[in-house]
Structure 1
Amino acid sequence: MDGENLRAPFGRPRRQLPADGLMRLQIRVPARLGRLVYAQSAVERRHLGAIVAQALDEYYRRHPEQSWTSMT
């Protein structure tokens, strides 16, 4: 894609796509699909939160003498 002159519909110029980082997509999908995506996102967020909590708990058990405030 590098160097391509990308054109959006109706001839409007399109910005270059970022090489990394985040970008925003606006698309229309059925409401049911949107609800499923949000539900899956919530499940993954809870799962990742549990993983982080477990990792912090193990770290605290291994290093109880360290102050949590000095880590921030």
Structure 2
Amino acid sequence: MEQDKDLPLGRMHPLRGEAFALALSIETIRRARGRSNPRDFTLGSPQWEQVSLDFARDIRWALGMNDEDDEPEQ
């Protein structure tokens, strides 16, 4: 079944390849630093959840974002 290009990162979406390359880059960097990746654990396990959150922080770092970006402006 062919997916619509307008669906969020569907199979034919042009940004899907870039998102995949970013995720693979983050996995490689984490592995080189001796850190685990989400795929190293059973989906839904406590370890998977913790590593997934850490992985998301690394993606934010790679995109130039940080925790201060989430704080409301005063």
TM class, shorter-length: 0.3 to 0.5
CA radius of gyration, larger in:
1
TM-score by length of structure 1 reads 0.35
TM-score by length of structure 2 reads 0.34
